[in-house]
Amino acid sequence: MYKPRVYVTRQIFPDALDLIENHAELELWPDEEPPSPEQLKAALAEVDGAIINVMDRIDHSVLDAAPNLKVISQVAVGLDNIDIQEATKRDILVGYTPGVLAKSTADLAFALLLAVARRVVESDKWVREGNWKISHHPMFWLGSEVNGSTLGILGLGGIGLETAKRGMGFDMKVIYHSRTRKPDMEKKHGFKYASLKRVLTESDFISIHVPLTSETHHFIGAKQLKMMKPSAILVNLARGAVVDTEALYEALLKGQIAGAGLDVFDPEPVPPEHPILGLDNVVVLPHIGSASNQSRREMHLLAARNLVAGLQGNRMEECANPTVYDSLGI
Ligand code: DGY
């Protein structure tokens, strides 16, 4: 019996690989460094399916180089690295992994928010550098109060919702701005919908959870940063390019806002000489929003199940372009 061929572009949990191997001939990219665009094209040249990562750019030219490709299964909720329109035109199913990572990513949003507000990383560094000479000083290391403050959520999808719920748990007033208003969530959890302007001007903490699209590229730029309170802290776990990095650096430098917690950056990885890394009021993490053992394993298993379903001509659990089902008659 014909076994479809599958390429997996990064190491994933072994049980996810086993699941794929039960149904397909599998090849795994051996290195930690991602394949270059040319290597990716060569890897996908003859396969029926692929499990890919957010750093693998699947554009027109990669799809041209992969004439047998029927299924792309992304290990992420964000899809900005894939030309979905082009995949859809070619009847290639695209799977992704929403839901299973929402809670862990929201946990990290709070870790970043608290770290910047209460100067956790900065003071830890100070201790390690041997500066803790006075046991306790009433005026040292003052930060921002989190409880009782206003949390503004931009984008109330799965991760935004979980972050908003955590804000309520911290006794914060939570306001949100999203493409779609969610009155049921407002009623259930007590958040309030607000205009973008209100979120920007009234929030003490702003947490970004919008996908990167042509409309949200530099969604937060110099103008938006100027509208924020000088005491505001910006948290980004969405995509680096949703924020204009240069404008953010200027705003932090000039004290237009008080701090930032960034799990994503534009570009990624952040160049070690980037001036933003010289600022004490910024915490930068290496894109680890969903990096708990549990969430990552769930993501890998879901991506594997999406892939196998697509290769077997079935509907996926999570499909980003379900209109392809119609053309495939499934
Ligand atoms: C996502 O899911 O989009 C994350 O950025 C990768 O874990």
Does ligand 1 come within 6 angstroms of the Cβ of 77?
Answer: yes
Write the pLDDT tens digit of every residue in 224-244.
999 999 999 999 999 999 999
Residues 198 and 116 in one domain: yes
Residues 123 and 251 in one domain: yes
Active-site annotation, residues: 239, 268, 287
Span 248-273, average pLDDT: 97
Is residue 300 predicted with pLDDT exceeding 80?
yes
Write the pLDDT tens digit of every residue in 138-151.
999 999 999 999 99
Does ligand 1 come within 6 angstroms of the Cβ of 252?
Answer: no
Give how far Cα 213 sits from Cα of 32, 79, 123, 234, 291, Å: 28, 9, 37, 20, 23
**pLDDT band with cut points at 50, 70 and 90 for residue 330:** very high
Write the pLDDT tens digit of every residue in 38-86.
999 999 999 999 999 999 999 999 999 999 999 999 999 999 999 999 9
The model carries a pTM of 0.96
The residue whose CA has the least distance to atom 1 of ligand 1 is 76
Residues 111 and 201 in one domain: yes
Residues 119 and 263 in one domain: yes
Residues spanned by the domain of 31: 5-98+293-328
Span 205-209, average pLDDT: 98
Q: What is the pLDDT of residue 2?
A: 85
Residues 130 and 142 in one domain: yes
Does ligand 1 come within 6 angstroms of the Cβ of 101?
Answer: yes
Residues 268 and 311 in one domain: no
Indicate which CATH number applies to the domain containing 257.
Answer: 3.40.50.720
Q: What is the pLDDT of residue 1?
A: 77
Domain count, the chain: 2
* Cα gap 311→307, rounded to integer Å: 6
The residue whose CA has the least distance to atom 3 of ligand 1 is 78
The residue whose CA has the least distance to atom 6 of ligand 1 is 76
Residues 176 and 255 in one domain: yes
Residues 60 and 182 in one domain: no
Q: How far is the CA of 75 from the centre of ligand 1 (A)?
A: 7
Residues 274 and 309 in one domain: no
246 token code pair = 């240069």
Residues 12 and 115 in one domain: no
Residues 148 and 275 in one domain: yes
Mutate to test the pocket of ligand 1, among 56, 79, 105 (most ligand atoms within 8 A of CB): 105
Residues 116 and 197 in one domain: yes
